[in-house]
Amino acid sequence: MTASVTLKTPADIEKMRIAGRLASEVLDYITPHVQPGVTTDELDRLCHDYMVEVQQTIPAPLNYAPKGHRPYPRSICTSINHQVCHGIPGDRILKNGDIVNLDITVIKDGFHGDTSRMFCVGEVSRQARRLCDLTYEALWHGIRCVAPGRHLGDIGHAIQRFAEQAGYSVVREFCGHGIGRAFHEEPQVLHYGRRGAGLELKSGMTFTIEPMINAGKRDIRQLGDGWTIVTADHSLSAQWEHTILVTDVGFEVLTLSAGSPSAAG
């Protein structure tokens, strides 16, 4: 399994730092526009134009077509309320009280930067805000397990333990992933698991950690568009994502920018 994981060179890492920062800066740019009354299509158009015209980056999701899937038709993912991930922007209008995940992946000089944030639209319920906040904390519980000699299972265990102790459930069908020249590389980074299990982490690995946490049960289903995933019980879902580098002594978060929320905990 280790042979299929690409360890990044110092030159690769420098390009991934740039791609990661640019992906995060798209979220900085779009933040003031995430307001009641805006459509997700409008958010997609704004992000697309910013990526292509201002950053000179390529929106990785646009026309992305893994085996067995129709091409993804937009430049970002917008997942609202009970949508878990891969929500397709359209004519839906954001309302006061909604929570929405915006997932951004850009390609710059052949390397991918991948990150997502939760946004609270207007005034949201205390329960919705708690889910968003706790999911962000769960992400950081996973990130802080990253160091050479640790294992992928350590990351998943930390996220699962924290989320389930808070009364939430962890989506199991989707996971983090290696990233670099390709959008999705090895390894798969599960958000549940056992300490000490799975691949041993080595300096130079780059991957995403992106827990999807449900307020209700972990069961999900796919909508007829072939992409959007929702909670089976219609409970709220939240997700945050960073791209991570394993360093010689620990980790580096590659998807940070001026507007990034501070580390949780």
Quote the CA–CA distance of 112 and 179 in Å, as a whole number.
7
Per-residue pLDDT averaged across 243-261, rounded?
97
pLDDT tens per residue, range 4-39: 899 999 999 999 999 999 999 999 999 999 999 999
Share of the chain above pLDDT 70, in %: 98
Q: What is the model's pLDDT at position 67?
A: 86
Q: What is the model's pLDDT at position 263?
A: 87
Q: What is the model's pLDDT at position 66?
A: 87
Token pair of 88 as six digits: 């397709």
Quote the CA–CA distance of 115 and 95 in Å, as a whole number.
24
Residue 1 has pLDDT above 70, yes or no: no
Per-residue pLDDT averaged across 62-76, rounded?
93
Q: What is the model's pLDDT at position 69?
A: 85
From 159, 160, 150, select the one nearest 246 (Cα to Cα). Answer: 150
Q: How confident is the model at residue 117 (pLDDT cuts 50, 70, 90)?
A: very high
Per-residue pLDDT averaged across 66-92, rounded?
95
Per-residue pLDDT averaged across 196-209, rounded?
97
Quote the CA–CA distance of 246 and 261 in Å, as a whole number.
21
Token pair of 23 as six digits: 């992906």
Four-CA torsion 163, 165, 167, 171, nearest 10 degrees: 30
Q: What is the model's pLDDT at position 264?
A: 75
Token pair of 190 as six digits: 């599960």
Residue 257 has pLDDT above 80, yes or no: yes
Q: What is the model's pLDDT at position 250?
A: 98
Q: How confident is the model at residue 265 (pLDDT cuts 50, 70, 90)?
A: low
Collapsing DSSP to helix, strand or coil, 205 comes out as coil
Residue type, 41: D
- Which DSSP symbol is given to 236? -
CATH architecture of the region 2-253? Alpha-Beta Complex (3.90)
Q: Look up tokens 């996220």; give the residue.
A: 159
Q: Look up tokens 């646009």; give the residue.
A: 62
